[in-house]
């Protein structure tokens, strides 16, 4: 092997061609440059990553409920506005979300800016002491097409069965890339809307810009 010395590297002529040989100082410079390039790539990726927007902080196109208005960041409570409690599912308190009583529908105009919708759905714990935990179906409709159905979610002590029945909360995670209009639909089951205090806890969208 023949070496050709030249600061700050050595070129070695081998059987397969020229090989780059880095002395210690040059190698440190090379590693530092590589680390800087990697950090810049990570920062660039972070700058283009979607941001999360809470639905309770966004303006909806329309919102209807069967018993009182749709509440922001609290459970439905009763028939008045702002009379709910902290959203609570399975003993966990959520600071953000939507509380309502079905039948209800909340519509948002996403303008195709978002890529993800996430939430935790269920019957709020506030009805547990009433002897009837309610029964609710949660659905998500994207541009007129149903893309999620929770099935019946029961609260504790669902009275028509005279049993202690609950299905607990359920996480929702949907791809909504390119969706223009997102609708959150909540419907009652066989017992009507009695005690159907439904929560869309932590409801949020991941978007490149605020919808």
For residue 132, the number of C-alpha atoms closer than 13 Å in the C-beta half-sphere is: 15
pLDDT mean over 58-76: 93
Shared domain for 62 and 38, answered yes or no, is no
pLDDT mean over 84-107: 95
Contact of 97 with 197, CB cutoff 8 Å: no
Shared domain for 27 and 57, answered yes or no, is no
Residue entry with tokens 């005690």: 195
Shared domain for 65 and 150, answered yes or no, is yes
Spatial neighbors of 158 by CB under 8 A, at least 6 apart, are: 132, 133, 134, 135, 165, 166, 191
Shared domain for 60 and 152, answered yes or no, is yes
Q: Which residue has the higher pLDDT, 146 or 82?
A: 146
Q: Of 27, 48, 69, which residue constitutes the final position of a domain?
A: 48
pLDDT band at 4 (very low <50, low <70, confident <90, very high): very low
Spatial neighbors of 173 by CB under 8 A, at least 6 apart, are: 116, 117, 118
Q: Of 48, 65, 84, which residue constitutes the final position of a domain?
A: 48
pLDDT mean over 133-152: 94
Whether residue 8 is preceded by a cis peptide bond, meaning omega within 30 degrees of 0, is yes
* Position 155 pLDDT exceeds 50: yes
| Enclosing domain of residue 13 | 2-48
From edge to edge, which strands make up the β-sheet containing 135-142?
Answer: 62-64, 104-109, 181-188, 135-142, 145-154
Shared domain for 163 and 78, answered yes or no, is yes
Shared domain for 136 and 32, answered yes or no, is no
User: Which of the listed ranges 61-65, 141-145, 159-163 does the model predict with the highest average pLDDT?
Assistant: 141-145
Shared domain for 81 and 43, answered yes or no, is no
Query: 167-187: per-residue pLDDT in tens?
Result: 789 999 999 999 999 999 999
Shared domain for 121 and 192, answered yes or no, is yes
Contact of 124 with 198, CB cutoff 8 Å: yes
Spatial neighbors of 119 by CB under 8 A, at least 6 apart, are: 55, 97, 171, 172, 200, 201, 202, 203, 204
Residues of the chain with pLDDT > 90, as a percent, come to 53
Please give the model's pTM, rounded to 2 decimal places.
0.73
CATH of the domain at 122: 2.60.120.1060
* pLDDT at residue number 175: 98
Shared domain for 198 and 144, answered yes or no, is yes
- Give me the chain's average pLDDT, please: 80
* pLDDT at residue number 147: 98
- Report the Cα 29 to chain-centroid distance in Å: 42
Query: 23-50: per-residue pLDDT in tens?
Result: 555 556 556 566 665 655 434 443 456 7
Shared domain for 57 and 36, answered yes or no, is no
Q: Which residue has the higher pLDDT, 36 or 6?
A: 36
4 burial (CB, 10 Å; 0-12 / 13-18 / 19+) is exposed
Instruction: Spell 86-95 as b/e; 16+ CB within 10 A means b.
Output: ebbbeeeebe
* Position 9 pLDDT exceeds 50: no
Shared domain for 23 and 64, answered yes or no, is no
* Position 148 pLDDT exceeds 80: yes
Structural domains in the chain (count)? 2
Shared domain for 164 and 102, answered yes or no, is yes
* Position 119 pLDDT exceeds 90: yes
* Position 120 pLDDT exceeds 60: yes
21 burial (CB, 10 Å; 0-12 / 13-18 / 19+) is middle
């Amino acid at each position: 092997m023949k070496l050709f010395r030249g600061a700050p590297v050595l070129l070695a002529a081998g059987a397969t061609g020229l090989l780059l040989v880095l002395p210690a100082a040059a190698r440190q410079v090379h590693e530092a440059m590589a680390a800087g390039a990697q950090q810049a790539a990570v920062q660039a990726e972070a700058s283009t990553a979607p941001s999360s927007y809470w639905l309770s902080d966004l303006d909806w196109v329309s919102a209807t409920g069967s018993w009182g208005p749709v509440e922001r960041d609290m459970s439905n409570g009763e028939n008045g506005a702002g009379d709910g409690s902290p959203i609570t599912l399975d003993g966990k308190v959520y600071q953000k979300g939507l509380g309502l009583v079905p039948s209800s529908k909340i519509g948002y105009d996403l303008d195709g800016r978002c890529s993800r919708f996430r939430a935790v759905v269920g019957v709020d714990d506030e009805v547990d002491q009433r002897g009837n935990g309610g029964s609710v179906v949660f659905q998500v409709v994207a541009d007129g097409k149903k893309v999620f159905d929770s099935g019946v979610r029961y609260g504790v002590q669902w009275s028509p069965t005279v049993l202690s029945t609950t299905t607990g909360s359920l996480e929702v995670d949907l791809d909504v890339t390119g969706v223009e209009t997102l609708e959150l639909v909540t419907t009652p089951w066989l017992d009507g809307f009695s005690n159907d205090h439904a929560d869309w806890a932590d409801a949020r969208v991941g978007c490149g810009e605020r919808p």
